[in-house]
Amino acid sequence: MKNRIRVLRAEKDMTQEQLAERIGVTRNTIISMEKGKYCPSIKLGFRIANVFGVGIDDVFTYEEEIDGPSQDDE
């Protein structure tokens, strides 16, 4: 999953620490999300979107994994 957290933070002149405090996580969690190493829960995703005043789909973009199930498997 890709995200625009870094871009949205820059637009609001917000540090990783400030965002972390507002949504109740550690700065390391923000770092991991921005690097694409951590996929947040849907609740956390909505909290992030709310901080920036945008929809969740303006923050996150889902890209199907190559190793994931094919549509034939459904």
**Residue 69 belongs to some domain of the structure:** no
- No. of H helices and E strands in the chain? 5, 2
- Taking the model in full, what pTM does it have? 0.83
**Residue 9 belongs to some domain of the structure:** yes
**Residue 31 belongs to some domain of the structure:** yes
Instruction: Give CA angle at 53 (41, 55), nearest 5°.
Output: 55
* Contact (Cβ atoms closer than 8 angstroms) between residue 39 and residue 1: yes
**Residue 72 belongs to some domain of the structure:** no
Q: What is the pLDDT of residue 64?
A: 79
**Residue 21 belongs to some domain of the structure:** yes
Q: What is the pLDDT of residue 5?
A: 98
Strand, coil or helix: 16? helix
- Which residue range is the domain that position 23 belongs to? 2-57
User: What distance in Å separates the CA atoms of residue 28 and residue 74, rounded to the nearest whole number?
Assistant: 36
Query: How many domains, the chain?
Result: 1
Q: What is the CATH number of the domain that holds 50?
A: 1.10.260.40
**Residue 24 belongs to some domain of the structure:** yes
**Residue 65 belongs to some domain of the structure:** no
Give the rounded percent of residues in the chain with a pLDDT score beyond 70.
86
